[in-house]
């Protein structure tokens, strides 16, 4: 009877250790990845919204502050995505990340262009009336949303 109880106890300890390892794996691979991609998504969304502030602003001091905020958000997006890329990604996740990485530099070129135009006096509000930067940033927005809403 004691031998039977010891065997059951050892089986329980082994099963608990295996379950703990599986939970650790899920936490490391999935939950951390979800948090990282969520952080990048939020920062990129704020970056995109801040781009509108930049396009509509005419005060040069405020424009400088907005550009600093944009750089900080860009750094945060890159840092989160860099950590996310090191996680165990599915083929679909890797493809979506690669697609986002392909359009992000184009989007950042747009940000630079909006900054240049915003520094020209009274040019910012005209940008918004012409639908700039919304149409030009659409590929980045689509890639960002696809990355977060992956199947």
If the chain, 151 residues long, is cut into consecutive pieces of 10 residues, what is the mean pLDDT of each piece? 82 82 69 85 88 81 91 94 86 88 88 80 61 64 70 48
| Tokens standing for residue 146 | 């696809």
DSSP 74-107: HHHHHHHHHHHHTS---HHHHHHHHHHHHHHHHH
What pLDDT does 78 receive? 93
Distance, in Å, from the CA atom of 36 to the CA atom of 19, rounded to the nearest integer, reads: 25
Q: What span, in angstroms and rounded, lies between the C-alpha atoms of 141 and 106?
A: 12
**pLDDT (0 to 100) of residue 123:** 58
CA–CA dist 66, 47 (Å, integer): 10
Q: What is the pLDDT of residue 32?
A: 80
**Contact between residue 121 and residue 63 where contact means Cβ atoms under 8 Å apart:** no
Residue 130: per-residue pLDDT: 60
């Amino acid at each position: 009877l004691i031998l039977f109880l010891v065997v059951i106890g050892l089986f329980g300890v082994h099963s608990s250790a295996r379950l703990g390892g599986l939970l650790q794996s899920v936490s490391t691979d999935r939950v951390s990845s979800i948090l990282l991609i969520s952080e990048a998504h939020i920062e990129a969304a704020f970056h995109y919204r801040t781009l509108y502030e930049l396009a509509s602003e005419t005060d040069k001091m405020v424009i400088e502050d907005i550009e600093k905020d944009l750089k900080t958000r860009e750094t945060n997006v890159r840092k989160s995505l860099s950590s996310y890329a090191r996680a165990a990604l599915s083929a679909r996740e890797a493809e979506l990340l690669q697609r986002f990485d392909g359009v992000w530099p184009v989007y950042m070129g747009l940000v630079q262009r909006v900054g240049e135009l915003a520094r020209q006096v009274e040019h910012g509000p005209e940008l918004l009336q012409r639908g700039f930067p919304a149409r030009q940033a659409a590929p980045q927005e689509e890639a960002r949303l696809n990355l977060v809403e992956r199947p």
